[in-house]
Amino acid sequence: MPVITIANTKGGAGKTTAAALLTLELSKRGYAVTVFDSDPQKWISQWLETAGHHPLINVVSHVTPASLECHIRDMRPNDYFIIDLAGEKNQITATALAYSHHVLIPVQGSGMDAKGAAKILDLIAQIRQQTGLVIPHSVLLSRVNPMVTTRSMLAIKGLLAQRGVEVMATPIIERAAYRDMFDLGRSLYELDPEKCSNLDKAMSNARDFSDEVLKLLPSRIISSSRAPRHNGWNRAA
């Protein structure tokens, strides 16, 4: 019953795209997925209204730190919880991080504008310092130019590894399909391959990304392994 939070205090980092791809892929494989949309813009909720007609997907659009705790406590077996955070640091940020079995931090592969990611890394370190809670996390390279060579990707990963930051092996590639699915309110599998270039590559990238997440976080993780200690981590927000 893993809780996965997608976090970066910067807007446009690729959080909602990663959350949407993961939600679709996990539900396609038969997992029940609850998505927490904590962004006031409600992008993923709006998108799932039209694109996510799937009985295994449940969306919680009104999220407060208290409601997050209630939902996570009541979770059913085999559920994945995906928390799509807003592009700012607020009270929900610390609560979501503290409940997470894994935090994915999208960073745009090209610009490497990592300030928003650094804020999340700092907060994770702060929670650990204050409460002893270790929150597993990885940087997810996002919007990576498909022309970027394996060599330069390895260089970026090496740089982050030197700083002790785990990096997901699968980056999210910049694909027209990932834009189109939001523009048209459709899932990847409802797009027209005649009109959307490299749709097959986008699907394969989404599958690889989800495979890696599933390997990292099999659904049998027990919820009690996350037991945030309120006094410490709430102050961290």
Ligand X SMILES: Nc1ncnc2c1ncn2[C@@H]1O[C@H](COP(=O)(O)OP(=O)(O)O)[C@@H](O)[C@H]1O
Using CB under 6 A as the criterion, which residues of the chain lie in contact with ligand X when the complex forms? 8, 11-17, 43, 87, 142-143, 172-175, 178-179, 182
Contact 144, 138 (CB under 8 A): no
* Region near Mg ion per CB under 5 A, out of 14-22, 139-147, 160-168, 178-186: 14-22
CB 59 within 8 A of CB 20: no
Q: Is 119 in the site for Mg ion (CB under 5 A)?
A: no
Mark the segment that binds Mg ion (CB under 5 A) among 22-30, 38-46, 120-128, 144-152. 38-46
Reading the block at residue 219, the tokens are: 């659904």
**CA 214: distance to chain centroid?**
13
Contacting residue, 5, 8, 9, 16, with Mg ion by CB under 5 A: 16
User: In angstroms, what is the minimal distance from the CB of 176 to ligand X?
Assistant: 7
Q: Are 19 and 26 in contact (CB under 8 A)?
A: no
Residue 32 has which token pair? 């029940």
Amino acid at the residue 207: R
Stretch 142-181: interaction string toward Mg ion, x if CB under 5 A = ----------------------------------------
* Strand ranges inside 120-208, DSSP E: 137-142
Binding interface with Mg ion (CB under 5 A): 15-16, 39
